[in-house]
Amino acid sequence: MLENSYHSNHMRTSKYLLATTKETPSDAVVISHQLMLKAGLIRKLASGLYSWMPTGLRVLKKVSRIIQHEMDNAGALEVSMPVVQPAELWHESGRWEQMGSELQRFKDRHERDFCLGPTHEEVITDLVRNEISSYKQLPINLYQIQTKFRDERRPRFGVMRAREFVMKDAYSFHADQASLELTYELMYETYTKIFDRLGFTFRAVEADSGNIGGNRSHEFHVLADSGEDEIVFSSENDYAANMEMASAAAPADNKGASTQDKKLVATPDTSSIEDVCTLLHVRPEQTIKTLIVLGEKSGESAEGQNDQALIALILRGDHHLNEVKATKIPGIQSPLSFADEKQINAVLGCKPGSIGPVDMPEGIRIIADRDAANLADFVCGANQDGHHLTGVNWDKDCKVGEVADLRNVIEGDLSPDGKGKLSIKRGIEVGHIFQLGNKYSQAMGLSVLNENGKSIVPEMGCYGIGVTRIVAAAIEQCHDEKGIIWPDNIAPFHLALIPLNAHKSEQVSQLADKLYRDLTDAGVEVLYDDRDKKTSPGVKFADMELIGIPHRLVISERSLEQDKLEYKHRGDTDSQDIPLEGALDFLTNKILSVNA
C-alpha cells in the first residue's frame, strides 16, 4: 500500500510553493529547526506556533498515516475530540487546580470556563462513561491524531517543543489490571513497529509514572545529541530508564572508619563546592552539600504565617539532586520548592553556601542520599558564613537521619542489579505509554457492570506520540551539511526530476515531460523541477538536496547522447549513469519496493 494514497503525488516546482531559503534565523539553534525553516517545511507565526508549508505537511501526513496504520492494526479505533474543553471536566479530575500555566484557560461569551486541551484524559473518560456500561464492551482502545495546546514555559527548537502541536493520543479501558497489561504490551510493540518504520534509532526506557504510583510507564526516545532528555543504559543488560527514574546500585556498605576529628576552617569567598575543594585541596567526592527544601504545608499559624517545616537534603558534592525522587518522599512539598535565603538565615543563621548537618537545629528533618551517608571524614558547611568543617563523620559528629536515593545517576555508576555500568545518552522523547490505573475513572465516576452485575471502576492506559515532534526528530537523526536526508517512507517526494537546460533542448524537455507522466502513473511521487533558465542547475540540485528528496534523476543532453540518464540517491556521494532504456523500471523498482 502506498502511503500517499490520497496525496497529490506529483508536482511541478513552477506551480509549487518551494519556499527554500538560504538564511538561518538566529533563534534556530538546533539543526532540525534550521533545516525545517530553510527547506520550507514550516514558518513561525508566533512563539511556539508554526504553519506547515506544503512540503512539511506532506511529511507530517505520511508520519500520521504510518501511525494510523499501526494503531488500526492493533485494533484501536480512531475518534476525534474537540480541542476546546469545558472546565467542569477538569474540576472533576482535580486538574483544573493542579495544572499550572501550561493549561491555557479562557472564558466564552457566557463567562463559562474552558481550556485548550493539552491532553484528553478528561474528555475521553467522559465520553466512555456515557457510552459504555458493560464489561462486555471492554477492553476498548480509542485514539485520535489531533492538535494539542500547552502554554510551555520555554517553547524552543521549532516544532520540537511548540505550544501548539499534533499528538496521537490513545486511551484504553479495561475490566481488570491483567487486561490493561495486555494492551500496554501491545502498545509497546506497536510503538516499536511505528518507530522502526520511521527508520529511527530509538530506545524505550522506564519512566516515572508521576504521583499515581506503582504503575508502569515507558518513554520512547530517538537518540540524538540535541535531545532535551537524558536516558540511562546498562552496559550489561537491558536496563534502560530516563534520568528521572534511573537508579544506581546502592553503595556497598564500605564506609571507611573515621580517622579524623572535625575541625572548623575558614573558607571566605567560596560559594560553590569547586571553590571549597580548590581551597581545601579535597575532591568533590569527599564533600557533602546540603539543600533546604520545604515540607508539605501543615496549615496556617495564628499569625497567618505559613507553618511549613524545612527539610535538609544531603548529597555528595559531585552528585546532583533528582527532584522527582525527592518529591516522592512523603512529607516533602510537591512540586519541590527550595527555601529562600531569608528562610535559611532565619533558621540556620547562615547563607545557603555554608549549610551542613552538624548541629542542625532540632526539628529540621535530615535526609541523606545513600552515597552521602556512606562517607567518612568528609567536608561540609559549618552553618556559619565563610566556614566549613573538615574531618566530619556521621554518628560521631551528626545524625545521619533518614537515608534515601536522592540523586541523578552519573556515567560509570553500577547498574541497579550490580552488574554492568550505567552510561548516559541524550534522547528526544517521541512517545510515552502509561498505565493510568483508575485515577480518572474513579475521580470521574466511570463504572461498568461486571459479569456478576456488580459495578466496577475500569482501569485505564494512555499512549501518546508527538507527531509533529517526530518530523523534527527524523531530521535530527538524518541530515548532512547539504540538508535533510529523509527516510524513504516519510520523504515529501520520492524523486526529484531535474532536466538540465530544457529551454535549449527539445529532446530533454520532451523526455522530462514523458518521464514525469510515466513515473507519476506508476505511483512515484515526483517533484519535477521545471523552473526556467533563470534557475541554474546548481540551485536546483542544492534545493532538492536541502529538501532531502531521496532519489534524483537528471536529464541532460550530454548523457542523452550516450542514451543514459543520471541517477543519484541522496545518501550517495556520486551519481551513476543508467541506461535510458529500462530507466522507468529501474526507478520504480528502487522507489516503490521500499515504499510499498
Applying CB under 6 A, which residues contact ligand ATP? Answer: 119, 150, 152, 161-162, 165, 167, 429-432, 464, 466, 468-469
Minimum separation from the CB atom of position 588 to ligand ATP (A): 35
Minimum separation from the CB atom of position 463 to ligand ATP (A): 9
Minimum separation from the CB atom of position 465 to ligand ATP (A): 6
Minimum separation from the CB atom of position 7 to ligand ATP (A): 23
CB distance 478 to 470 below 8 Å: no
Minimum separation from the CB atom of position 444 to ligand ATP (A): 19
The residue with cell 481550556 is 115
Minimum separation from the CB atom of position 356 to ligand ATP (A): 35
Minimum separation from the CB atom of position 54 to ligand ATP (A): 21
Which residue is nearest to ligand ATP, using beta carbons?
Answer: 466
Minimum separation from the CB atom of position 165 to ligand ATP (A): 4
How many C-alpha atoms does 156 have within 13 Å on its Cβ side? 10
Output 62 or 262, the one with its CB closest to ligand ATP.
Answer: 62
Output 120 or 540, the one with its CB closest to ligand ATP.
Answer: 120
CB distance 591 to 541 below 8 Å: no
509 SS3 class:
helix
Cα 536 versus chain centre, distance: 41
Q: Which string of b and e fits 152-172 if b means at least 16 CB within 10 Å?
A: beebbbbbbbbbbbbbbbbbb
Q: Which residues contact 465 (CB under 8 A, 6 or more apart)?
A: 67, 167, 168, 169, 191, 194, 430, 431
Q: Which residues contact 23 (CB under 8 A, 6 or more apart)?
A: 38
Output 90 or 135, the one with its CB closest to ligand ATP.
Answer: 90
Measured CA to CA, the distance from residue 473 to residue 195 in angstroms comes to 11
- The β-bridge partners of 316 are 288
Output 180 or 549, the one with its CB closest to ligand ATP.
Answer: 180
Output 198 or 553, the one with its CB closest to ligand ATP.
Answer: 198
Output 159 or 313, the one with its CB closest to ligand ATP.
Answer: 159
In this structure, the number of other CB atoms found within 10 A of the CB of residue 93 comes to: 19
Output 244 or 545, the one with its CB closest to ligand ATP.
Answer: 244
Pick from 593, 466, 433: nearest CA to 64: 466
Exposed / middle / buried, residue 391 (Cβ in 10 Å: 0-12, 13-18, 19+): middle
Output 165 or 173, the one with its CB closest to ligand ATP.
Answer: 165
258 is written with which cell numbers?
573515621
